[in-house]
Structure 1
Amino acid sequence: IRGGLIGWYGGILGYTGIEIYQWKWGATRSSISSAIAYTLRLLAEKHPAEFTELVDEALPGWTDAHSPDEFFGLTFDPWAIPSLSEVDESTGNRYREKLYFSAAAVAVRFLKQLPKHRRLQIRNIIINEDRLAVGCPEGHVLGLIPFCRENPRLRVEQRVNLWRNLLLRMEIPRIGGAIKLAELGHDNEYDHQLGLYTVSSALASWGFHVMEVMGEGMPAGTFSFVLDGDPDLNLSSDLFDTLVHPTVAWLKAYAECSSQGLFPQPYRDIFYIPTATYLQGIEPLLGGASFLKTNFNVGQPWDYKKLVE
């Protein structure tokens, strides 16, 4: 198996272009998807004929048996776990790998299946995201907001494993690595290293989405997030000391220098991750929000002002 299929398989669990460019756009994948859906609905209302033509172009013959409005019912919520009947039409590539739905998605389905009087008896839910999951799991906890509003005594704790989930998703083992090992007897030494961009993007993406939960109406005091450093808490601390804190400090220093006119070009043109948006996602994980915790020591931030000097 070579070429595009290998890359496509990695894309099932890996980050998409939207998630990577969320730093440039200053919005999470969930927000971007909602904005796109809202824009399409506006186009359908104001330009129905043109919209119908575009739908027919994408799905030939579909509007012969459906109204254009039904087009918007073709998707699922990001946290949905479709039934077999809902996905009985085979499309795209098929794989026999064991893939997981997120713990948050399972929790949403479980609560939906319970009658209301049973849901109101639940007091605590721990969502343990200790494995890679499909469907951009960072935003799946949004699906629990209606249940938390319904039951003010419900408390939700989301635990995300740093090594088995958060970072691994940025460095999904590729089939190509196994082929290289079988053919050459060795693999690339870089396959066993974490890059600065990998760590920064993965952490900031989760932090960015967690902060969105509160902005989308999660009741105060209901939700908490724990970054789980198991199985090596000391290595988790080292990761923050050697990669995260230096990155935050240098970005802050460059932003400060740019604001003082010390550099000719805006800092957004220098770093792939725009500083303001990245910091919005990463700083809460460093102790900037009371409902975000870790089970390891994240260390002390660097003094970026010394770098500026």
Structure 2
Amino acid sequence: MGAFPFLELPRELRDQIYIQYFTAPDKTYVYDFHSKKLRLSDKTPISVGLALTCKTVNHETRGMGLRLNTITFYPIYSDELRALASRFGQAMYHLKGTITSTLSTISSVMNYNNPHEPRPLTRLKELVYPDRNFEDWNLESILSMDVDPWRIPTESEVENLVAILFKAKEEARGKKYTEGLDYLYAWHPDHGKYRFSAASAAIYFLRSIPDQRRHMRNMVICEDRRSVAYPEWHGRGLVPFCQENPALRITRRVSLWGNIFRHDMDERHWQYQVCTRNAINKLSLDRATTVLAAWIAEAGILPSIGMPTGQYTLFLDGDPLSEKTSEIFGGYIQRAALLQDVIVKAPRGADWTFIQVHRYMDHFISELFPQMLKDLSDNPRSGLIQCNFDPGQRSVSAEEILATHPEWDPYDWDEDLWNWPGGEEETIVPGLTAMQMEDMVDSFRELYPNGPPLRCQSGDPPDWAVEVDSDIEPDEGEDQNEGDGTDGGGDHDSDSNDEADAHEADV
């Protein structure tokens, strides 16, 4: 029996065969950063044999897998990348701190008669630090650094970043460089799981396929674990790809309990937070709200920096504690947004500026936070920000509160709102400690089953054994996406056929 004359079939029929062949069972491909390939959701290789039958079929099917399936990304974790991620995260922490401190100082000596004309940096040095020799520190270089926090750096790039951050006098550079580098290398004990964000993985993949990414239609970026380098601002790195491909739709799905709510202290200190809190199953709502507001604020500003309308969605995932999530949103988070609204809308004299309200008012969280939260409450299932729980509604408006004391200024309201009823700064979350401890590597978990020890002046860790009262048991073994060395991708043998590898990148 001769070969079937496939190419003699009508093109419409061939296309139907291609669709059946390249559509994954669940219409999902998962990016495996470790192998730099797309896989099926069960981590098995994608079949591309049909595309290799001849040049005509290869041409007709190019990019079809990208068009037909949703490409899913997870945070990147491996033992090899963990240390790099930790150092890069800390370098970004110090860079942000330096820039924030300098800009805050600039605003404090700004010419408020013309706030759009800040005094030069040289004048800043004279006014604020007259006793310091600023020739020792290259602030201009730090302020002008162009570092993308969503980009996965090389070792040398991290070292160069550290060199600039810790650079002092030129003749003492070697000493200061070494001290700064040693500081970042030694700060973390070798025990934490540090990841690059899922958005970083997506951007890495998109940059790696410049000729094929125009075929992509749907991406899901699952930020289900904590990651380094301020992942709440990584959505900005996706803007150029959406501008390039108007058909691309991106959903960035961030887990509240696997990610945002576990930022109740800075990522550099989560280990110490677990040990030092009197009630280790308490969630700091103040810190959680601040981090949540940063995620929401980024989604709010993306359209203003070029993100095309309708191409990007931030999805807040409240599972597996959806009822607790609704309780927190309907109570504390809605309250926090309301109190900020009161502060911002309170009557103020001509000498008040928005910068002053922002800097000095304790109840100011983020400029876009109240309006974006209101939009989510009004339309939680569609729109720029979505969720799978009830985000609640405000019980009263800022205008109604302000009407009770029209003569008060923002300082009066800021002081009075400390006694505002209806919310607690902490809430009990069963299983929070168990979730925190998932970020311990296995060797450290065996050594300290109750969590990392505190640093004591004596050098001996305290005996602080804790009991975890949890309704949520940690998963057996590794995280769902970490068992093979990378989040979101299996560690499979690479295909031996180079031509198959090339086409697999296309699909």
Which consecutive residues of structure 1, in runs of 5 or more, have no partner in the other structure?
1-7, 26-38, 44-53, 60-67, 181-186
Say whether the 8 Å CA contact 2:254–2:315 is kept in structure 1.
Answer: yes
Check if 1:166 corresponds to 2:260: yes
Residues 288-307 of structure 1: pairs in structure 2 closer than 5 A: 290-304=383-397, 305-307=399-401
Partner residue of 1:204 out of 293, 299, 302: 293
2: CA distance between counterparts of 1:155 and 1:161?
19
SS at match of 2:386: strand
Letter in 2 for 1:106: A
Residues 12-27 of structure 1: pairs in structure 2 closer than 5 A: 12=90, 17=97
Name 2:149's counterpart in structure 1.
78
Question: In 2 relative to 1, CA 240–123 (structure 1 residues): closer, same or farther, beyond 3 Å?
Answer: same
2: CA distance between counterparts of 1:115 and 1:230?
35
Question: In 2 relative to 1, CA 110–270 (structure 1 residues): closer, same or farther, beyond 3 Å?
Answer: closer
Name 2:472's counterpart in structure 1.
none
Question: In 2 relative to 1, CA 300–177 (structure 1 residues): closer, same or farther, beyond 3 Å?
Answer: closer
Check if 1:244 corresponds to 2:333: yes
Cα offset, 1:245, TM superposition: 1.8
Say whether the 8 Å CA contact 1:132–1:164 is kept in structure 2.
Answer: yes
Name 1:146's counterpart in structure 2.
240
* Greater mean alpha carbon deviation, residues 224-233 or residues 163-172: 163-172
2: CA distance between counterparts of 1:76 and 1:277?
24
Name 2:347's counterpart in structure 1.
259
Letter in 2 for 1:83: T
Residues 80-229 of structure 1: pairs in structure 2 closer than 5 A: 80-84=151-155, 86-87=157-158, 91=181, 92-94=183-185, 95=188, 96=190, 97-116=192-211, 118-171=212-265, 174-176=270-272, 188-189=278-279, 191-229=280-318
Letter in 2 for 1:222: Q
Question: In 2 relative to 1, CA 75–219 (structure 1 residues): closer, same or farther, beyond 3 Å?
Answer: closer
Question: In 2 relative to 1, CA 14–275 (structure 1 residues): closer, same or farther, beyond 3 Å?
Answer: closer
2: CA distance between counterparts of 1:104 and 1:295?
21
Say whether the 8 Å CA contact 1:250–1:307 is kept in structure 2.
Answer: no
SS at match of 2:259: helix
Say whether the 8 Å CA contact 1:255–1:275 is kept in structure 2.
Answer: no
2: CA distance between counterparts of 1:249 and 1:72?
34
- Residues 40-72 of structure 1: per-residue CA shift (max 9 Å, x gap): 9x99xxxxxxxxxx998447xxxxxxxx99x99
Name 2:174's counterpart in structure 1.
none
2: CA distance between counterparts of 1:297 and 1:280?
17
Say whether the 8 Å CA contact 2:339–2:363 is kept in structure 1.
Answer: no
Question: In 2 relative to 1, CA 18–192 (structure 1 residues): closer, same or farther, beyond 3 Å?
Answer: farther
Same amino acid, percent of matched pairs: 28
Question: In 2 relative to 1, CA 86–20 (structure 1 residues): closer, same or farther, beyond 3 Å?
Answer: closer
2: CA distance between counterparts of 1:192 and 1:276?
30
TM-score with structure 1 length normalisation? 0.67
Say whether the 8 Å CA contact 1:205–1:281 is kept in structure 2.
Answer: no
Say whether the 8 Å CA contact 1:14–1:169 is kept in structure 2.
Answer: no
Cα offset, 1:165, TM superposition: 1.0
Cα offset, 1:200, TM superposition: 2.5
Which consecutive residues of structure 2, in runs of 5 or more, have no partner in the other structure?
1-85, 106-118, 123-132, 161-177, 405-507
TM-score with structure 2 length normalisation? 0.43
Letter in 2 for 1:107: A
Say whether the 8 Å CA contact 1:203–1:281 is kept in structure 2.
Answer: no
CA RMSD of aligned residues (A): 4.2
Name 2:50's counterpart in structure 1.
none
Check if 1:230 corresponds to 2:319: yes
SS at match of 1:167: helix
Say whether the 8 Å CA contact 1:287–1:293 is kept in structure 2.
Answer: no
1: CA distance between counterparts of 2:100 and 2:255?
20
- Which one has the bigger helix percentage? 1
2: CA distance between counterparts of 1:19 and 1:210?
22
Larger Rg: 2
2: CA distance between counterparts of 1:83 and 1:275?
33
Cα offset, 1:178, TM superposition: 6.2
SS at match of 1:230: coil
2: CA distance between counterparts of 1:178 and 1:192?
9
- The count of aligned residue pairs is 255
Letter in 2 for 1:82: P
Letter in 1 for 2:392: G
Say whether the 8 Å CA contact 1:249–1:302 is kept in structure 2.
Answer: no
